[in-house]
């Protein structure tokens, strides 16, 4: 059955499903069964990272599912200590081996670590992985405009995607405008805010949910889809997986979209990427 999830064409030419499934803070012992359930629900985009310590379980779940490898989009990320040590190629190979899927669809620098000042060097190594064909696309996570501008000056490849905190209270409008002008796809971690605000605490969200007979979480995820943002919500129960996936049978109106846009605080609620340097 064809997926109902829309895709975004990355600048490398590969397509990423706009709704994915994240495994941040999913215990390794629970990751394989949880990812297997997500795949059964219909997710075809799984987001992990070396730092989550569950890459092997993600790969095992995909292999156990029987779904053709080319039908599942897999993202993983370079852990900060490997970035610090300059062990980029070794880290990449370990992720490839742990996943056991033959290739990585999207490989990201997890944090720029600006005070360490090695992300350009790391990015050049990423360019090599892309040229070798062992990953379909390379990108970054938690990069600000100044970090992206430096990559543009000092390397030859524009990141395919930038994964950052993004939800109705942190909308990253200036960053998204820059990304849009330079062919960088926006992706949201914490698309539902990671508990930093009550999903039903704002009239704009409550009223849209009531109008469409949907939950506040479904409205927020639908808002991401209509904004053109890739979203990777996490869910531990099948009921939540199914609810998060059930967002393609309605559309928010222009006025509803504008009301949610008005909730932006203009700042990060979780962490400023400049403060992460280890």
Spatial neighbors of 244 by CB under 8 A, at least 6 apart, are: 19, 217, 218, 221, 233, 235
Angle between helices 119-132 and 145-154 (to 10 degrees): 60
Angle between helices 216-227 and 254-261 (to 10 degrees): 100
Contact between residue 71 and residue 105 where contact means Cβ atoms under 8 Å apart: no
- The answer to whether residue 107 is catalytic is no
Pick from 49, 55, 65: which is nearest to 98 by CA? 55
Catalytic residue among 52, 92, 107, 119: 52
- The residues annotated with a catalytic role in the active site are 52
């Amino acid at each position: 059955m064809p997926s109902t999830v829309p895709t975004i064409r990355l600048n490398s030419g590969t397509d990423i499903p706009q709704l994915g499934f994240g495994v941040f803070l999913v215990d390794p012992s629970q990751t394989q069964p949880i990812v297997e359930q997500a795949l059964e629900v219909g997710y075809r985009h799984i987001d992990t990272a070396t730092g989550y310590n569950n890459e092997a379980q993600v790969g095992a779940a995909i292999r156990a599912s029987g779904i053709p490898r080319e039908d599942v989009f897999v993202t993983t990320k370079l852990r900060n200590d490997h970035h610090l040590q300059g062990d980029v190629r070794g880290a990449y190979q370990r992720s490839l081996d742990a996943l056991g899927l033959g290739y990585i669809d999207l490989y990201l620098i997890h944090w720029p670590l600006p005070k360490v000042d090695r992300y350009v060097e790391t990015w050049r190594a990423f360019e090599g992985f892309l040229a070798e064909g062992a990953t379909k696309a390379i990108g970054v996570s938690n990069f600000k405009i100044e970090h992206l501008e430096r990559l543009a000056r000092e390397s030859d490849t524009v990141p395919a995607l930038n994964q950052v905190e993004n939800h109705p209270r942190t909308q990253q409008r200036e960053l998204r405008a820059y990304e849009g002008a330079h062919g960088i796809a926006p992706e949201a971690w914490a698309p539902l805010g990671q508990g930093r605000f009550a999903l039903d605490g704002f009239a704009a969200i409550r009223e849209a949910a009531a109008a469409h007979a949907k939950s506040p979480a479904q409205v927020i995820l639908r808002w991401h889809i209509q904004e053109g943002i890739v979203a990777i919500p996490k869910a531990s129960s099948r009921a939540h997986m199914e609810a998060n996936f059930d967002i393609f049978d309605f559309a928010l109106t222009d006025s509803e979209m504008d009301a949610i846009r008005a909730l932006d605080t203009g700042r990060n609620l979780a962490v400023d990427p400049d403060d992460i340097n280890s």
